[in-house]
Structure 1
Amino acid sequence: MPSSSVTPIWQRFGAGLLAGFALVGAFLCLLAFLFVRPELDVRPGPAWTPPAVVAAAAATLPPPAVQGAEQGLAVGRSAQVIAAAAVNLRRTPGYLNKPAGDILGTVPRDATVDIIGGPQTADNLIWWQVRVSAGREGWMAETRASGDLLLQPAP
C-alpha cells in the first residue's frame, strides 16, 4: 500500500511545467534584450559640443558706505560707547588676523571718547581713532560685524 506522503504525479508535473515556462520566458527576454535593440548611429557628422567655459569677472563689492557722517561721528567730536559690554581699543583698525598685542585695552559702556582720526574701513567695519579719558589712543569700530552699534555721538 503506497504511503500518503507521496505527491501525485499531476502535482509534480504542474510545478515542473510552471518552472519550465518561467525559464523559457526568462530566456526569451534575454534574447530580446541582446538582439532586438536599436543600432547606434556611428556615422561621422556634426555633433553637439558643449559651450566653451568663460571665466567670469570676480565680483567686487564696493566698500561699505561711511555711516559716521549720517550719525554725527566726525573728527573733533566726542562719542559715547553704547555697546552692551566693554569695547576693545586697538592699536590699528581691523579685527581679523591680528596679533594678540593689537588690543590695547577695553573701553566700558557709557564711556565718552574723543574722535581724533578716521574713519577708515577695515574688515568691512568703519573704524575711528579715539582718545580715552586716560589719554590712551587707539582705534574702535563703529559697529560690530553683526551690525550692532558700538559708538554714537555723545550727548
Structure 2
Amino acid sequence: MIRNPEQTVGNIADKQKTAFIGSVDEQGFPNIKAMLQPRKREGIKTFYFTTNTSSMRVAQYGKNKQACVYFCDNRFFRGVLLRGTMEVLHDPASKEMIWREGDTEYYPEGVTDPDYCVLRFTASSGRYYSNYHSEEFTVE
C-alpha cells in the first residue's frame, strides 16, 4: 500500500527529466506526448508545463480538458499515472511564473511570445505501480 502518495509521487515526478502527457483527440482516441519535466508543481495536485500555443495538444485541451500525466522511473521500474484536467493559460502572471533563462530558444520573442503558453494540470486521482503491484489513490 502506498503510505504517503504525496511524498512517493512527488519524489518520482521530481527525479524524471521527462513526463508523458495525455490528451483526447476529436475522434476520442488518447494521444500521448513526451514533455520536459514540469516547471513547477504544487504537491501532487497541480503541475505546470510550457508549450507552444500553436501545438496540437493546446487545440485538443481547448476542446476536451480530460488529461493524464505519467511519470516513469526506469531505474526501479515504477511509475505513476495521474488523471485530471488540463487548462491552457495565456495570462502574463502564469507565463512569467515558469519562464526560465534560455527559453528564448523555443520562444524567440521572450515571455510575451504569442506562441508561448502554460499548461496547468490538476490531478484528481492516480494509479501507482511498483514491485509488480498497482494501486489506485485519490489526490486531495
TM bracket (short chain): under 0.3
Determine which structure has more spread, i.e. the larger CA radius of gyration: 1
The normalised TM-score by structure 2 is 0.26
Q: Name the structure where strand makes up a greater proportion of residues.
A: 2
